[in-house]
């Protein structure tokens, strides 16, 4: 369950939204935090679906499949939180996500693997900032509790992505 929560916020991956200016992640709390989690989860899953198809490295494919499986479950959980809070959001429509997806889709072989994993590592680090913001400034105890748990579990996923990146350089 902790891993599912990690993918929901990370994803993943996922894990991020793929914006080049993501280094300037502002502190988002509560509902804004949840909305950003949905974006990060969606992008991590979509980048990883692409990796399942484009990668020629079995370890990268296995990592991507893990992100997709866990992220799909996490999206259901995020949906439940949206429903309870009566919030609606459309994910995957941002220009940054679309550009990054298209950029990755144009790559092949080791170059694809490297760039996909770089994206996952960068987005993973940005997700940590998202967790930190919720933990330090969140008013919603449920979301703050999730952020605390997920940050611990997320570290394992980020570590795996970093190790894979090192192995494909």
DSSP code string of 85-102: HT-----S--HHHHHHHH
pLDDT at residue 24 is higher than 90: no
Reported as a pLDDT band with limits 50, 70 and 90, residue 28 is low
Q: Alpha helices, DSSP H only, in 55-140?
A: 58-85, 95-105, 109-137
Model confidence pLDDT, tens digit, residues 106-165: 999 999 999 999 999 999 898 889 889 989 999 999 999 888 888 877 788 899 999 999
Q: Which of 9-13, 35-39, 68-72 has the lowest mean pLDDT?
A: 9-13
Give me the domains of the chain, ranges plus CATH numbers.
Answer: 2-12+27-168 (1.20.1260.10)
d(CA 88, CA 64): 27
The first and second tokens of residue 19, run together, are: 């914006």
Residue 27 binned pLDDT confidence (cut-offs 50, 70, 90): low
The pLDDT score that the predictor gives to residue 86 is 86
Highest mean pLDDT out of 2-6, 75-79, 102-106, 165-169: 102-106
Q: Which of 48-52, 99-103, 113-117, 143-147 has the lowest mean pLDDT?
A: 143-147
21 falls in which pLDDT band (50, 70, 90)? very low
Q: Tell me how many degrees the CA angle 38-7-28 measures, rounded to the nearest 5.
A: 45
């Amino acid at each position: 369950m902790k891993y599912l929560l990690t993918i929901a916020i990370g994803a993943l991956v996922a894990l991020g939204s793929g914006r080049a200016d993501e280094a300037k992640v502002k502190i988002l709390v509560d509902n804004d935090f949840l909305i950003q989690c949905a974006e990060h989860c969606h992008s991590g899953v979509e980048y990883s679906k692409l990796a399942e198809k484009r990668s020629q490295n079995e370890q990268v494919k296995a990592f991507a499949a893990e992100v997709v499986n866990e992220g799909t479950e996490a999206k259901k959980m995020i949906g439940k939180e949206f429903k309870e809070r009566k919030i609606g959001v459309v994910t995957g429509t941002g220009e940054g996500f679309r550009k990054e997806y298209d950029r990755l889709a144009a790559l092949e072989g080791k170059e694809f693997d490297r760039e996909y994993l770089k994206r996952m590592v960068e987005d993973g680090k940005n997700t940590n900032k998202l967790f930190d913001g919720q933990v330090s400034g969140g008013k919603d105890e449920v979301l703050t509790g999730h952020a605390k748990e997920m940050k611990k579990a997320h570290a394992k996923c980020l570590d795996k992505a970093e190790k894979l990146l090192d192995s494909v350089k």
